[in-house]
Structure 1
Amino acid sequence: MLPVTNALGTLLLTLVAAPAMEHLYIAEKPSLGRAIAAVLPKPHRPHEGYIEVGNGDCVTWCVGHLLEQVEPQEYDAKYQQWRMEDLPIQVSQWQLKARRGMGKQLAVIRKLLKQAGTLVHAGDPDREGQLLVDEVIDHLGVSAERKAATQRLLIADLNPDAVRRALGKLKPNRDYIPLSVSALARSRADWLYGMNLSRAFTLLGRRAGYTGVLSVGRVQTPVLGLVVRRDAESEAFVPRPFYQLDALIAHEEGPIRARWQPSDACAAWLDEDGRLLARKLAEHVAGRIQDQPAKVVTASYEEKSQGAPLPYSLSALQIDAAKRYGLSASEVLACAQKLYEGHKLITYPRSDCRYLPKDHRAEAPSVVSAIAQNHPPLTEAASGADLSLRGRCWNDAKVTAHHAIIPTAKRASTKALSASEAKVYGLIARQYLMQFYPAARFAHAHLVFEIAGGEFVAKGRRLKVAGWRALLGKSPPAEQEETGQTLPSLVEGETLICSGSEIKDCMTEPPKAFTEATLLQAMTGIARFVQDPALKGILRETDGLGTEATRAGILELLFKRGFLCREGKAIRATSAGRGLIGALPESATYPDMTARWESQLQEMAQKRVAYGPFMVALEQQIAQMVEAARTASPPTSLSGIPAPVRRGRKGSGRRSGSGVAGRRKGKGTSKHSASRSSAS
């Protein structure tokens, strides 16, 4: 046998000694990939786009979505120009392509797939995270046999102990394919809806002389519709005076204030909400009750408890942060993402769940101790936590693919956090600590008096035991509740004297403008705004308009495209936004259709609705809407309205380009966009 050179011999020995790659972990993003690698055997050998660990396994990652839908003109060159006669755009064989700048990482994964044994899907634990990795595996031509053997790694907490536990609980990826199908249906439906309707109504708008692009999306447009209608109601509102009459009933502990309840005989002087419109009637009743006996007809006293609010979902966190600190939804999401990925101080932030698994209770001492160190304002609250309490948040049956957002057990100096990150961490930590405080207890009193034949009602609510409410501290008015007057103990039949009265002059108020917090609340509680009564009941069981991961992006998109603007804390529609809603069919501007979609997509994720019928019905609906646009008259709502200036990066003033619905969750790039050349 011929001798080999030392270099060649070393290489051969290395190849012989190197363990085979049994597992290839594909994470959703580099930070998650590094967290997985950190708990796998050492030594680690970092490479461009992946990490090789000590046992030969490799960890690679996507960078958000590596793939995106191709443009319409890549299916057929005729779509390069926007023409009504070419609509609706239909797709028989869907195509994806590498996002700009992502081809290199896609090539890394392709190479590793050829060398790997078992694949481990490590996307985020939600519908979009499931699709994000599944679509890469499918796009790169992995065989059906290997797909069937792929494992699923579900990580909601980037701390090493949590990652190790997750690695010990790998599950078959095939169990989660319905999530991927649901996300795929949503992505394709959004593409079809946005591409077709944006083109159809932009072309219709041009007939009215409008030069901008009418960006239509199945979520963004109903959200814009909510704001436009609220603004219109406010502008058309005519204030009306009304009056309230309180009897002042003498008592040794202080006067009791009881509100007059007009009888049916007074209906002619009441509005539809039962408010008194005639001051003379109030004055007449006030004169009649002066110095008259006030007999107690009903005396009801009871003590009620109020349990701690559940830990946060993303939307609940965004709403509270907007109320308390004025942070926008996108700012809260960015802070939460940094706290999760960068600082590892909280669990997975894009959660739509507000419950925790029972086995997480074992970590409570470590988490509470970390809060005490990490966030000095809560040190005292942490020391007062009763870890023996078992609140309603610990409920395995209500935990979905991910649990509520809570702090981790990691100890770190919050000096490394920005001011906004510290505020968001403080909210999450406080909400978690509340689970280990007793219920607040209130004394409720309800008294009904009869005075000169009229009925007067006094209500009182007094905080007896603060419980978890002690953690609210100096809260803004949005968090504090009026407790009302303190009422004495009376018995039915007891008679006091009405010593006087007070008439309050009031004015009806217009509906309040949406704020970031109330618009998010509207999106999560969308059942209140739908027109179809049959749909309301269904929607109360679903996630609302949009998803936890997309709501912040939807709002920012509407601001960026110049359809919404901020006036202080108020959110208003611009003239272009109002014109757009006026030009569209009503069905596109209400949340009914979108909410019905979300309901069906959720059913699809649970294998109760099939992909095919959903898409067929959608294509038929789009064809009908396009035909309606084709035959419609030019919309007068857009006449004379200038195209909005699109807010670009760093405040640039680019004109609105294509604009179709939505962004994929937090990946920082448009899910799909119409061709720029055709938008002119």
Structure 2
Amino acid sequence: MSIVILAEKPSQAKEYANAFSASNKQNGYYQVKDPLFTEETYITYGFGHLVELVPPSYYDSKWKKWSLQSLPIFPDTYTYQVPPDKKKQFTIVAKLLKQANTIIIATDCDREGENIAWSIIEHADAFSATKNFKRLWINSLEKEAIIDGFNNLQDGLTYRSLYKEAQTRQISDWLIGMNGSPLYTLCLQQKGISGTFSLGRVQTPTLHMIYKRQYEIEHFVKTPYLEIGATIKTDKEDTFKASLSPFKRFSTMVDLTSYLTEKKTSIGIQDGHISNIETTYKKMSSPRLFSLSSLQARINQLYKISPAETLKAAQSLYEAKLLTYPRTDSPYITTNEFNYLKNNLDNYQQFLKSSIEPTQLTPRKRYVSNKDVQEHHAIIPTKQVISLDRFNKLAPLQQHIYLLILKTTFAMFLPDYGFEETIIETKVQSLLFKTKGHVPKVMGWKTLFNTNETTNTKELMLPLVTIGQKVSVELSAIEKETQPPKAYTEGTLITMMKTAGKSVDNEEAQQLLKEIEGIGTEATRANIIETLKKKEYISIKKNKVTVTEKGKILCQAVETEPLLTSAEMTAKWETYLKKIGKNQGGTQDAFIANIQKFIQHLLVSVPTNMENLTFTPSQKIKDCRADYQYNSFPKTKPSNKMARATDKKSSTSLGHCPRCQHEVILKKDFYGCLNYPDCRYTLPSHYRNKKLTKANVRALLKKKETVITGIKTKDKVTYNARVSQNNNGVIEFIAFEAKK
């Protein structure tokens, strides 16, 4: 009888073996000796997954080739196989597991680690009620942590539910991929679209989320507006800017002028006085500790590095015993970690060459919470502090990640950043203007970081003034425009996946959304983005994520099915999967049954919905690898009748299309290209409810500026606007035009 320790990969097995008193490397395993073990003990390993789900053709020959008639693909049971290149190692592992009376699962401490271990044990037919199953659950590969973990092994069956969760996720993803991919590919081929299209339970809503954001950006119409600004000058010639309080926006100059007249003021210089001064001392705590997703987002923001590269580098630092386990969703540590970090402060401080002394030596809720740490705590440095020589040998990305995590962890012990916030209130008649200034007093934890590594509060030095002091105030009208949403970066996309598409811009707001499970898991989101790249659904240019032509086609095809595109619905699925993992009432059979019902629904609805879709000839391309076009989104979903119509009825041409040089004519309520639908160029017939004249249209078609006269506001005040046409056929405001 023997004890077998099952590691996830060779490097992990080697670290375990090196932690024990003696080890002997054999073919595919280690034989080890240590006072911890009284029986013969072996460490063996997989290469990640040693077993995988079989392809559909294994179950039935009719599923070998894609055919709409052969769908759905619903096996009665789900069978696993060993890939040819892993059979040799699996044979070694299976033999050791069968002979063992105690199996210690020592794969990565997460759902996928459980899936890897138990799928190997099950396929090796090594699961038995007579065997003793234990679980090694550690956050570091340091020798001390490994020995401590083996001294405190947990019941292996306790975590078996995580295996059921991961296996359920794996089977459901397989079902949607094996059914959805041929369904949409074949239906699209019937519409003249070549190439193959793959679907995924998480992959597809993520793609659609990017598609929606891009659509909003490309179809955003900027709206001009005006604000009132103030430049304040003292008798000593000191000047500073101020903003109207409360803030007010004006759609026209007429509205702004009317407002100022009502307040007995006007554009230009007039007298004012300082009505109030408030100075408050404030403190700012150091940044929260890193989870994997927040680390990926921050590294992408700082260095434009992909989440997948960040995970790979963080994993390598974990295996080098420099960082704790990286695949964590928690920004908290427990008191145990806080204590060992506190005991190592001198070493961290010496490496960082920091002269500021730690003062925050008791746990604070912002960072330390035993109840909020479930599977893994935040990513922090290990007790082993790297030497400068070894640090210099790390790859640049590894250096960036290690330093950022070390600084963020050490900053938790440093004094808060302290600053004085001064608000000066200036009155002009009944108008109130405010100016906010920020003066650093105690740099505290900020001394650790470069200016680009942390969010800096705007520092504005203000002149010395007194309440009641007379000042000169110059009021001005500031022209601005509403701005479209920002394109996703890979970093912000990770955050959006974690919050199920809920838009949050700051760390605190993300914390409030921690109950939302998001789409994907902490460890799989980066891989989802990489899959979208490999499938050529998205491209990354200058760190901005854009949807390719192929991605747009798929999104147009799937957007009639909310369950395929809804990030919130996918998040609910993830929530149910976690119930399985936590033994909170969810079952594998129930979840898979619901996935099968959903697929049955798709088989009925997708062919019908696809009939109403029309794709332009430019989209019907080999493998859908067209150059990316920003204006290729359809503005409407035309019916078949609309798609067939060429609209070549007699009408007066007003000019030539800027895109294809065909004639442009007035259609029902817009101007359009005579080459529709091959060319989808359009121009609206009205601007701000004012009908365009033929002269306006002719000028816009030639990309010239033109003046639209007699535009009315809600208050029935008229004005003239100078406009032009951008590359997307959108009329853009340039300036107000004086009336003649």
TM range (shorter): 0.7 to 0.9
Residue matched to 1:276? 250
Residue in structure 2 matched with residue 466 of structure 1 by the alignment: 443
Give the 5 Å matches for 1:654-669: none
Match of 2:419, as an amino acid? F
* TM-score of the pair, normalised by structure 1: 0.82
Cα–Cα, structure 1 residues 45 and 208, in superposed 2: closer, same or farther, change >3 Å?
same
Aligned partner of residue 350 in structure 1, secondary structure? coil
Partner-residue secondary structure (3-state), 2:77? coil
Seen in structure 2, the aligned counterparts of structure 1 residues 155 and 277 have a Cα distance that, compared at 3 Å, is same
Q: 1:642 to 1:282 in 2, by over 3 A?
A: farther
Separation in 1, partners of 2:450, 2:437: 23
Matched, 1:631 2:608: yes
Q: Compare 424-433 and 358-367 and name the one that shifted more.
A: 358-367
Deviates more, 1:633-642 or 1:326-335: 633-642
Whether 2:21 is the aligned partner of 1:45: answer no
CA distance in 2, matches of 1:468, 1:642: 56
Structure 1 SS opposite 2:270: coil
1:249 touches 1:294 (CA, 8 Å); kept in 2?
A: no
Residue 78 of structure 2 is aligned to residue 94 of structure 1: yes
Residue of 323, 346, 354 corresponding to 2:301: 323
Counterpart of 1:17? none
Who is 1:652 aligned against?
none
CA 1:614–1:463 in structure 2 vs 1: closer, same or farther (change >3 Å)? farther
> Which string of whole-angstrom CA distances, capped at 9 and with x for unpartnered residues, describes residues 216-250 of structure 1?
11211122112222222222122232222122344
Q: Report the alpha carbon displacement of residue 158 of structure 1 after superposing the two structures with TM.
A: 0.6
One-letter code aligned to 2:64: Q
Q: Check the 8 A contact 1:250/1:496 in 2, yes or no.
A: no
Q: CA deviation at 1:560?
A: 1.1
**What residue number does 2:579 align with?**
603
SS in 2 for 1:321: helix
- Of the candidates 536, 540, 552, which is equivalent to residue 566 of structure 1? 540
> Which protein has greater RCO, CA pairs closer than 8 Å, 6+ apart?
1
What is the 5 A alignment of 1:132-143?
Answer: 132-143=116-127
1:379 to partner: Cα distance: 2.4
Q: 2:310 is matched with which residue?
A: 332
- Give 1:430-509 correspondences, 5 Å limit: 430-446=407-423, 449-475=426-452, 479-484=455-460, 486=462, 494=468, 496-509=470-483
Q: Does 1:425 align with 2:425?
A: no
1:115 to 75, 99, 107: 99
Match of 1:27 in 2: 7
Matched residues, number? 600
Q: 1:75-96 CA deviation, whole Å, 9 max, x = no partner?
A: 1111111111222211221111
Q: 1-side partners of 2:15 and 2:409: how far apart?
A: 24
The answer to whether the Cα contact below 8 Å between 2:577 and 2:586 also exists between their aligned partners in 1 is no
Q: How does 1:294-309 map to 2 (within 5 A)?
A: 294=273, 296=275, 301-309=279-287
Cα contact 2:354–2:448 (8 A) shared by 1: no
Q: Which residue of 1 aligns with 2:183?
A: 200
Any idea what SS the aligned residue of 1:275 has?
coil
Aligned-partner residue type, residue 599 of structure 1: T
TM-score for both structures, normalised by structure 2: 0.76
Pair 1:518–1:527, CA change in 2 (3 A)? closer
Shift of 1:529: 6.0
Tell me, what secondary structure is at the counterpart of 1:548? coil
Q: Please state how far the C-alpha of 1:66 moved relative to its aligned partner.
A: 0.9
Q: How does 1:634-649 map to 2 (within 5 A)?
A: 634=611, 635-637=613-615, 639-644=619-624
Task: Report Cα offsets for 1:126-160 as digits up to 9, x if no partner.
Answer: 1111221112112222344146x311101210110
CA contact (8 A) 1:308 1:468 kept: yes
Per the alignment, residue 173 of structure 2 pairs with: 190
As a proportion of its length, which structure holds more helix? Answer: 1
1:234 maps onto 2:192 in alignment: no
- Which residue in 2 is equivalent to 1:668? none
How many Å apart are 1:191 and its aligned residue?
Answer: 1.0
Note if 1:390 corresponds to 2:366: no
**Shift of the alpha carbon at 1:496?**
4.3
TM-superposed deviation, 1:251: 4.7
Question: Which residue pairs with 2:489 in the alignment?
Answer: 515
**CA shift digits 1:4-25 (9 cap, x unpaired):** xxxxxxxxxxxxxxxx62x211
- Cα distance between partner residues in 2 of 1:252 and 1:221: 63
The Cα RMSD (Å) is 2.8
Q: Out of 229, 235, 260, which is 1:246 matched to?
A: 229
Residues in 2 aligned to 1:200 and 1:529: alpha-carbon distance in whole angstroms: 32
Distance 1:529 1:590 in 2: 15
Flag structure 2 segments of 5+ consecutive residues without an equivalent.
Answer: 505-509, 627-740
- Picking from 523, 528, 533, the partner of 1:554 is 528
Contact 1:367/1:408 (8 A) holds in 2: no
Change in Cα spacing, 1:292 to 1:405, as seen in structure 2 (3 Å) is same
Could you say if the C-alpha distance between residues 352 and 262 of structure 1 is closer, same or farther in structure 2, counting changes exceeding 3 Å? closer
Q: Where does residue 577 of structure 1 map in the other structure?
A: 551
Q: 1:348 aligns with which of 322, 325, 330?
A: 325
The letter for the 2-side match of 1:629 is: V
Deviations 1:299-318 (A, max 9, x none): 65533322222221111111
Match of 2:647 in 1: none
Residues 1:408 and 2:386 aligned together: no
**CA separation in 2, counterparts of 1:406 and 1:497?**
53
How far is the alpha carbon of 1:368 from its aligned partner?
A: 4.1
Structure 1: tracts of 5 or more residues without a match: 1-19, 264-273, 531-535, 647-680
**Do residues 224 (structure 1) and 202 (structure 2) align?**
no
Is the contact between residue 225 and residue 479 of structure 2 (CA under 8 Å) also seen in structure 1?
Answer: yes
Choose which of 131, 139, 146 in structure 2 pairs with 1:163: 146
SS, match of residue 308 in structure 1: coil
Counterpart amino acid of 2:538?
Answer: L
CA–CA distance in 2 between the matches of 1:48 and 1:454? 83
Which of 9, 26, 41 is 1:57 aligned to? 41
Percent of residue pairs bearing the same amino acid type: 29
Asked if residue 72 in structure 1 is aligned to residue 56 in structure 2, the reply is yes
Whether 2:515 is the aligned partner of 1:541: answer yes
Q: Is the contact between residue 459 and residue 485 of structure 1 (CA under 8 Å) also seen in structure 2? A: no
Distance 2:434 2:307 in 1: 42
**Counterpart-to-counterpart distance in 2, 1:527 and 1:237:** 20
Deviation at 1:580, TM superposition (A): 0.7
User: In the TM superposition, what is the alpha-carbon distance from 1:187 to its structure 2 partner?
Assistant: 1.0
Structure 1 residue 537 displacement after superposition: 12
| Distance in 2 separating the partners of 1:192 and 1:538 | 34
Corresponding position of 1:269: none
Q: CA deviation at 1:361?
A: 2.6
Cα deviation for residue 279 of structure 1 reads 3.0
Distance 1:278 1:144 in 2: 79
| Structure 1 residues 633 and 330, CA gap change in structure 2 (3 angstroms) | closer
Distance 1:537 1:363, change over 3 A: closer
Task: Show CA shifts across 1:556-576 (max 9, x none).
Answer: 111111111122221111111
CA contact (8 A) 2:428 2:473 kept: no
